[in-house]
Amino acid sequence: MGASGKTGRALTGALAARGFRVRAAVRSPASTETVYAAGASEVAVLDLVTGAGLDEAVSGAWGVYHLAPNVHPGEVDMARLVVGAAARHGVQRLVFHSVLHPDDASMPHHLRKAQAEEVVRAGGVPWTVLRPAAYHQNLLPAALAGELAVPYSLDAPFSNVDLGDVARVAVTVLADPGHEGEVYDLAGPEVLSVRQMAAQASAVLGLRVTAVQTDRREWEDGPGAALPEGARRDLLTMFESYDRGGLVGGSAWLWARLAHLPTTWAEAVAAARNMP
């Protein structure tokens, strides 16, 4: 579910690389070409708000990876619809894409993730919950362009994670036994502020990358203006939370269990620089 976004495309590619047939669920037929290019074997069009097309998408599937639209107010109801369809069709594994610190009351959209997790746990389908931190990839294009501009404190700490690492963990918990009933935080291997990320990116790229804290009113009138009011309010509240303490977690034990070294910010910048 949610296959056309950057997370869904990364997971689709990782699953296909391991030999799985992927039925990519998308909201719009216009996304069909995108998910086929990512590695999907087939495409199902559905509406997670109403549930239309959900039974057809889930029918015959062994496992389901559920990724709700970002900061959507109906996320808990979406989880109920997905879990219900998975139960009806005998799905053997359900993985829910949550967020790091879903119980953080300072961010309402995190609390909706926590409520959706409860729905997943109570649904009667073998489940695993992944709680990723923010992605390196959220800031990589800006780093390559020479400026990290964010509407929160440049000194707030973050343990960002690489999207490719998240996709590899997602494939593991979907495909391999031993992860049922588990909740995994997915944080990166280091804690960095945006100011420190800019400095590291400068060193890797050999050019000056600046860190700039933008005015929130400018964000509201710019990128935030295109968002629904509820999503804009949720993100403004998130920025305030970031000012107070960033978003930091630890996953060293998980990376050790999976025998995988997580990608650092500098490594992600270097990889992005070398992409065609």
pLDDT over 80 at 1, yes or no = no
Sign of CA dihedral 99, 104, 108, 113: positive
Q: Is residue 1 part of a domain?
A: no
Which pLDDT belongs to residue 251?
86
Residue 38 shares a structural domain with residue 127: yes
The CATH number linked to 220 is: 3.90.25.10
Residue 74 shares a structural domain with residue 143: no
Residue 139 shares a structural domain with residue 127: no
Find the mean pLDDT for residues 130-141.
97
Quote the number of domains for the chain: 2
Residue 101 shares a structural domain with residue 206: no
Which pLDDT belongs to residue 170?
95
Q: How confident is the model at residue 256 (pLDDT cuts 50, 70, 90)?
A: confident
Residue 16 shares a structural domain with residue 149: no
Percent of the chain at pLDDT > 90 equals 93
Which pLDDT belongs to residue 173?
94
Find the mean pLDDT for residues 73-84.
97
Which pLDDT belongs to residue 169?
94
Q: How confident is the model at residue 259 (pLDDT cuts 50, 70, 90)?
A: confident
Placement of tokens 């804690």 in the chain: 191
Residue 219 shares a structural domain with residue 150: yes
SS (H, E, C) 69-135: CCCCCCHHHHHHHHHHHHHHCCCCEEEEECCCCCCCCCCHHHHHHHHHHHHHHCCCCCEEEEEECCE
Residue 19 shares a structural domain with residue 75: yes
SS (H, E, C) 209-224: CEEEECCHHHHHHCHH
Nearest to 160 by CA among 68, 271, 251: 251
Domain range holding 69?
Answer: 6-133+162-187+250-256
Q: How confident is the model at residue 23 (pLDDT cuts 50, 70, 90)?
A: very high
Residue 149 shares a structural domain with residue 271: yes
Residue 173 shares a structural domain with residue 237: no
Secondary structure letter of residue 19 according to DSSP: T
Q: Write the single-letter amino acid at 92.
A: Q
Predicted TM-score (pTM) of the model is 0.95
Residue 150 shares a structural domain with residue 193: yes
Find the mean pLDDT for residues 219-242.
96
The CATH number linked to 27 is: 3.40.50.720
Residue 93 shares a structural domain with residue 203: no
Residue 180 shares a structural domain with residue 225: no
Q: Is residue 53 part of a domain?
A: yes
